[in-house]
Amino acid sequence: MKQITFELRGDFIALDSLLKATGLAESGGRAKTMVSEGMIQVDGQDELRKTCKIRAGQVVSLHGVRIRVVTPEQPQETST
């Protein structure tokens, strides 16, 4: 499974914005479609809210990819 570590620059990022920022969706519209089609899980639970607030410590998963959201102070794990 591909691991991505995303460094959060504020309190939260909207789920659709996270998908676009990590390059997993080529546009905001595609990101919203991915969420509405039930392709995304947040902390192991299906997530259908396109603008769900993702905060540091949460893990977003889809099709063999895990995004770990961290703050700049948190140690980052290496990607494999």
pLDDT at site 75: 54
Mean pLDDT of 59-67: 95
Assign 18 a pLDDT band (cuts: 50, 70, 90). Answer: very high
Cβ-proximal residues to 47 (8 Å cutoff; 6+ apart), any chain: 15, 35, 40, 41, 60
Q: Is the pLDDT of residue 64 over 80?
A: yes
| Structure-block tokens of residue 30 | 């595609």
Output the DSSP codes for 33-48. HHHHTT--EETTEE--
Return the CATH fold of 2-70: 3.10.290
% of the chain at pLDDT higher than 90: 85
Domain ranges of the chain: 2-70
